[in-house]
Amino acid sequence: MKIIHEIGALKSVLKHHKMNGKTVGFVPTMGFFHEGHLSLMKYARKKSDVVVVSLFVNPTQFGPSEDFDAYPRNLDRDMDLCNSVGVDYMFVPEVLEMYPEGYATYVTVESDMTNQLCGASRPGHFKGVATVVTKLFNIVEPDFAFFGQKDAQQVSVLKRMCKDLNSSVEIIACPIVRESDGLAMSSRNVYLSQSERQDALVLYKALSEAERLIRKGQREAISVKNTMVEIIESVSTSKIDYVEIVSATTLKPVETITEDTLIALAVKIGKTRLIDNLNVDFL
């Protein structure tokens, strides 16, 4: 595995592979890998000739009061993990390499998609995501890009963006990876104290109960939502940011649950904001 820090160097090494007809799979990340990231890399490894992972904690997708500085980092461990799953190139640019002086260009998805759910409490977040992903796609020019379904809104927004901008990159959403007790893997889970770690299970509990109700035949969104809210509020350290039942394509709220429905929630456990979701594609 090669570590590359400069955009030009990565472009030129990948150009060589493409001229030889190789397909490129790309996994954009902010590092501090867990099994969720590794599963994306394994999907990429299976589907592509050359696998590129970027590790860049992107400042433009963090709000001024968010955890950019505190975001967990561990490059040495991340390199070993990438190596262990057969990644070919790890792209690790400095902030100034990505946003040099005079930088001025941004990509926005001007839709309700970006100002609800996580967008409501994180204004500008999806502008930062859309911009950095556009840049990374132009640098790597991958055939496939792999994203975790855990960030369901991000997947929907990026699919919209790629469709709108006529990108040739195929976005592949990969299933949520969970701890054995059901907690969705997240780099932010390290923020949780031991007791908060237990309380954090409430997100999965609420989604599991929603799934059980739907499998039993419940199709009324409001009823499922009320049950979920009740479950979450029974945990005293929890504070609901949102519990929403929406279309997975448009992210607009729905009244009736169908196979296009996404149930998404964000809950603060103590000071740590966690997200999770359920795609009702099993219907």
Where is the binding site for beta-alanine, in residues? 61
For 89, 131, 139, 172, 249, the CA distances from 134, given in Å and listed in that order, are 19, 5, 9, 16, 20
Q: Quote the CA–CA distance of 114 and 226 in Å, as a whole number.
A: 24
Residue 125 designated active-site:
no
User: 């893997």: which residue's tokens?
Assistant: 185
Nearer to a copy of itself by Cβ, of 10 and 235: the residue is 10
Pairing of strands 261-269, 238-247: antiparallel
Of 176-195, binders to a copy of itself (CB under 8 A) are none
Q: Least CB distance from residue 126 to a copy of itself, whole Å? A: 11
Is position 13 an interface residue for a copy of itself (rule: CB under 8 A)? no
Residue numbers in the known binding site for ATP are 30-37, 148-151, 177, 185-188
Among 65, 168, 194, 236, binds a copy of itself (CB under 8 A): 168
Q: Using the rule CB under 8 A, is 101 a contact of a copy of itself?
A: no
* Residue 74: how many other CB atoms lie within 10 Å: 13
CB-wise, 29 or 60, nearer to a copy of itself?
60
Instruction: Tell me which of 4, 24, 41, 130 binds a copy of itself, using CB under 8 A.
Output: 130
- DSSP track, 50-62: EEEEEE---GGGS
Binding residues: 30-37, 61, 148-151, 154, 177, 185-188
Comparing CB distances to a copy of itself, the nearer of 139 and 228 is 139
Q: Does 161 bind a copy of itself (CB under 8 A)?
A: yes
CB of 247 to a copy of itself, least distance (A): 12
| Spacing of C-alpha 255 from chain mean position | 26
Question: Counting contacts by CB under 8 A, is residue 21 touching a copy of itself?
Answer: yes
CB 136, CB 26: distance < 8 Å: yes
The DSSP letter of residue 167 is -
Check residue 94 for interaction with a copy of itself (CB under 8 A): no
What is d(CA 261, CA 74) in angstroms, rounded to the nearest whole number? Answer: 36
In the annotated binding site for (R)-pantoate, the residues are 61, 154
- Closest by alpha carbon to 57, among 73, 37, 42, 39? 73
Residue from 5, 16, 17, 37 carrying the catalytic annotation? 37
By the rule CB under 8 A, 104 interacts with a copy of itself: yes
CA angle in degrees (0–180, nearest 5) for 222-230-218: 40
Phi and psi for 181 in degrees, rounded to 5?
-90, 0
Residues belonging to the active site: 37
Interacting residues toward a copy of itself by CB under 8 A? 7, 11, 19, 21, 102-111, 113, 130, 134-135, 138-139, 141, 160-161, 164-168, 250
